[in-house]
Structure 1
Amino acid sequence: MSSESVIVTPGRRLGLTQEYESGPGTYVRNGMIYSSILGTKKIEQALAETSDDSIKRPMLFVERQNTKFAIPVIGSEILGRVVRINPRAASVAIMMVDSAPCQEDFQGIVRVQDIRATEKDLVQMINSFRPGDIIRAEVISLGDQRSYFLATTKNEHGVVFAQSEAGNSMIPISWEEMQDPKTQTIEKRKCAKPVT
């Protein structure tokens, strides 16, 4: 193995096909070897000569930097942005799973019955979330082909960041209200447990 350790991006020219064999994470075009993934450029020296007395060329490859991908599973805590709401559910773009950022776009749904643990029949979506809110929730089911089912029934789950209609950042003043500190306007939300 070579001691060379250079971070490369997709499309970066790595070497000539006359000097190296193309390995994993690379592709060849017009006699040049290019990186096909983000990672570290590596060179593996040939171990032995081939049977036809020609010397085998070293292999040039790219090793992925971080192979850990954040994928939601049942019981994971997510951080997501509310994209849209209707009277029965809120659509959420999942940004983080536990403490790892997502590499792909995952969608989640918080159904109206999964917002609060008690008085579920009194919950109204418009009084819980608004588009643009950042929420903390738990994955409760793998859902359908498009979305994970999420719940905010625990005290620590709910809206963690919201903007008022005036465009200012709001602060939670109770478990179901947030206030704009500039205009003093109060809006309804299902707040995550405020840190005291």
Structure 2
Amino acid sequence: MSSDIVLPGQPIPLPRGPVPQLGGGIYSRDGTVRASLVGVPQYSGSTLEIKRTRPHPPAPNSVILGSVTRLSPLQATLSISVVDGVPLPPGEEFIGVIRVQDVRATEKDKVKIADCFRGGDVVRGLVLSLGDARSYYVTTARNDLGVIFATSEAGATMEPVSWQEMRCPKTGKIEKRKCAKPEGL
């Protein structure tokens, strides 16, 4: 078994041999074993099950996913929706702040927030600390952190072309972003 999180309805790959007993969080339909909960399939004796993973608030060193809700010259504000790979329940959200000095590890004095993020971008970040009473300080100053999903002005899903640029597949227009390291670059 891998340690990959599965989503409800997603097929669960089984090892060769007899089908295991199915426990909580798992069902079989049309001969395919599927998840009924978000979580990691695990064996408990001879029974395959998914235990409900409890979402937890962000803590220092938590990897988060959030969407950009506000921009100012000094910071980008995120609505955090996933903490350490576990989606938060609907209606529960945390606020993250990426300060200009936390966008990247080098040339911090040359960072312009508007060249790194746009409203609606989905960002992978790392929680640095609890900021003030309302928000967490988040950094994108590693190669694997930054924008992972963005929509262009033409409404298309953009493709990363470098660590600081994304291209619209419809128009070919390049827009600046602080990208998480794209696969293969």
TM, length-normalised to structure 2: 0.69
Match of 1:68 among 54, 57, 64: 54
Aligned ranges for residues 113-128 of structure 1 at < 5 Å?
113-128=101-116
Partner of 2:6: none
Per-residue deviation at 1:166?
1.1
CA distance in 1, matches of 2:55, 2:177: 31
TM, length-normalised to structure 1: 0.65
Aligned ranges for residues 153-168 of structure 1 at < 5 Å?
153-168=141-156
Structure 1 consecutive aligned stretches of length 4 or more whose deviation exceeds 2 Å: none
Summarize the Cα distance change of 1:144–1:186 in structure 2 as closer, same or farther, 3 Å threshold.
Answer: same
Per-residue deviation at 1:179?
0.2
Per-residue deviation at 1:133?
0.1
Q: Which runs of 5+ in 1 are unaligned?
A: 1-64
Q: Does 1:94 align with 2:50?
A: no
* Alpha carbons 1:89, 1:110 under 8 Å: kept: yes
CA distance in 2, matches of 1:129, 1:67: 31
Q: 2:101 is paired with a residue of what secondary structure?
A: helix
How big is each residue's C-alpha offset from its partner over 1:144-177, in whole Å with a ceiling of 9 and x where there is no partner?
Answer: 1000000000000000000111111100000000
Q: 2:93 is paired with a residue of what secondary structure?
A: strand
Q: Does 1:84 align with 2:77?
A: no
Letter in 1 for 2:179: C
Per-residue deviation at 1:70?
2.4
CA distance in 2, matches of 1:130, 1:82: 7
* Alpha carbons 1:80, 1:135 under 8 Å: kept: yes
Per-residue deviation at 1:71?
1.3
How big is each residue's C-alpha offset from its partner over 1:37-79, in whole Å with a ceiling of 9 and x where there is no partner?
Answer: xxxxxxxxxxxxxxxxxxxxxxxxxxxx947222100000001
Partner of 1:176: 164
CA distance in 2, matches of 1:119, 1:149: 19
How big is each residue's C-alpha offset from its partner over 1:106-151, in whole Å with a ceiling of 9 and x where there is no partner?
Answer: 0000001000100000000000000000000000011110000000
Q: 2:127 is paired with a residue of what secondary structure?
A: strand
**Which protein shows a greater Rg?**
1
Per-residue deviation at 1:105?
1.2
CA distance in 2, matches of 1:149, 1:165: 28
Question: Which has a greater percent of strand?
Answer: 1
* Alpha carbons 2:64, 2:124 under 8 Å: kept: yes
CA distance in 2, matches of 1:75, 1:136: 12
CA distance in 2, matches of 1:70, 1:82: 21
Percent identity between the aligned chains?
52
CA distance in 2, matches of 1:175, 1:66: 36
